[in-house]
Copies of this chain bind each other. A is one copy, B any other.
Amino acid sequence: MTANSKTLKVALLGAGNVGSQVARILLDDADALAARTGARLELVGIAVRNVDAPREVELPRELFTTDASALVRGADIVIELMGGLEPARTLILEAIEHGAAVVTGNKALLAVDGPTLYEKADAAGVQLSFEAAVAGAIPILRPINDSLAGDKITRIMGIVNGTTNYILDAMDSTGAQFADALADATRLGYAEADPTADIEGHDAAAKGAILASLAFHTRFALEDVDCQGITEVTAADIAAAKDAGYVIKLLAIAEKLEAANSDGAITSGVSVRVHPTLIPREHPLGAVRGAFNAVFVEAESAGELMFYGRGAGGSPTASAVMGDVVSAARRMVLGGPGRTESTIEVLPVLPIEAVTTQYYIGIDAADQPGVLAKISALFAQNGVSIETMRQTVHSEGNGHDGPGSAELRIVTHRASEAALAATVEAIKGLDIINSVTSVLRVEGV
């Protein structure tokens, strides 16, 4: 291999946590990268807002510039790690126009403007890669795009937000309430000062849109994702789930479904959603602890697959970025088409009402004869079938509400959200009910 016959100019936009690690790899591992790509990858500049800002990684000062646009115009490969919508979008479009391959980890931008960017890259015949945008270091986009290209994916369930997994895992191990677990996560650096995007599920939703687009060869945007965060998950929910053999995870789920439209005609479509979900503790996703991420894929022939690793952090994310950079460089050296997003089908987005899942319902009821019968009847009337029902009776004076209360934990068979909601409303109307303590979806059974 003539490793040094060619030089490719690499422009880096952003020198934060990930960007500085990417710069370090490009500088420190230049020889190994040349051997793997057949070209020297020359880091020609790093665009930042403030050249003099303190950096975690020491990098040659002469590489820094504030003129991102000039840097982009002179590059063969542009690595965008600034985050945010602007100026990232404008700079990526400039890079595409100039024929540079683009590697980005900007999930926010892709979730909003992905379709436009993919089209521009397609039209210009340049490669737009974004492995780092979903599940950090975990190679997931390439396996979905290439390895499963001869198979049909039916469902993807991902733990794609490390902050929420850290919080839920801590609640599960220590019995802590959400607010306390969040405070700990913030103190330890697992949650940002403003954790909204994580705990409300927005970050997971952006990644869910990207995963769904790849898995189902259709373009989904953030607004197509039905999203519910973890702020309402209580210690009692976690304890009840644990007791029943489940663990609660925030999952981004994309699945192919058939649904009847208003005329009764059956349509194939895709539901993309994010919500706290009970999964069996022995499910592979149940073993994903702390801030780790994992993506569980179900495909027609392959069956169940799971991809596990670090979802965030400078070095892990830099690894994913560099995989894309090496891949882009190899293609520039050896020729061949850019790797672009494959949109072949156009599947409609189905609303969450079209989804059927199993449900877990916790009910605090009076301990009276006939309670089970009355509740069972309401499930039956609404067409929701019960898989398991467990009753724990609390005797008087143990601190629970009122004398003789009973705690019911019901797992249903698959039911629609509408049928479940009607059932829950009806149960709430019973005078023997103190409260419906939780309603959560169950997957992976």
Q: Which residues of A contact B (CB under 8 A)?
A: 1, 21, 25, 29, 32-33, 35-36, 131, 137-139, 142-143, 146-152, 282, 284, 286-289, 292, 299-310, 313, 315-316, 318-327, 330-331, 334-337, 342, 344
Contacts and interface: CB of A to CB of B under 8 A. Distances in A.
A305 B139 contact: yes
A319 B299 contact: yes
Given A146-B327, A323-B148, A284 B308 contact: yes
A316 B369 CA distance: 51
Contact of A36 (B139, B149, B336): B149
Nearest to A37: B149
Contact of A150 (B287, B301, B322): B322
B316 A137 contact: no
A299 B138 CA distance: 11
Contact of A303 (B35, B131, B151, B315): B315
A319 B150 contact: yes
Contacts of A303: 137, 309-310, 313, 315-316, 319
Q: In the assembly, how many copies of this chain are there?
A: 2
Contact of A287 (B146, B284, B292, B321): B284
Nearest to A307: B307
A335 B337 contact: yes
10 contacts: A1-B344, A36-B344, A139-B305, A149-B322, A150-B323, A150-B326, A301-B322, A304-B309, A307-B307, A308-B308
Contacts of A299: 137, 319
B143 A139 contact: yes
A131 B288 CA distance: 26
Given A143-B143, A150-B325, A305 B301 contact: no
Contacts of A307: 305-308
Contact of A149 (B143, B284, B300, B323): B323
Nearest to A326: B149
B302 A151 contact: no
A87 to B, nearest CB: 25
A336 B150 CA distance: 20
B138 A142 contact: no
A214 to B, nearest CB: 13
A152 B302 contact: no
A21 B301 contact: yes
B310 A302 contact: yes
A323 B303 CA distance: 14
Contacts of A306: 306-309
A319 B337 contact: no
Contact of A310 (B146, B304, B321, B322): B304
B137 A323 contact: no
Contacts of A35: 344
A352 to B, nearest CB: 27
Contacts of A335: 335-337
Nearest to A147: B139
Contacts of A342: 36
A10 B292 CA distance: 41
A229 to B, nearest CB: 26
A324 B330 CA distance: 19
Given A316-B301, A331-B336, A151 B322 contact: yes
A304 B290 CA distance: 13
A54 to B, nearest CB: 22
Contacts of A289: 282
Contacts of A320: 147, 302
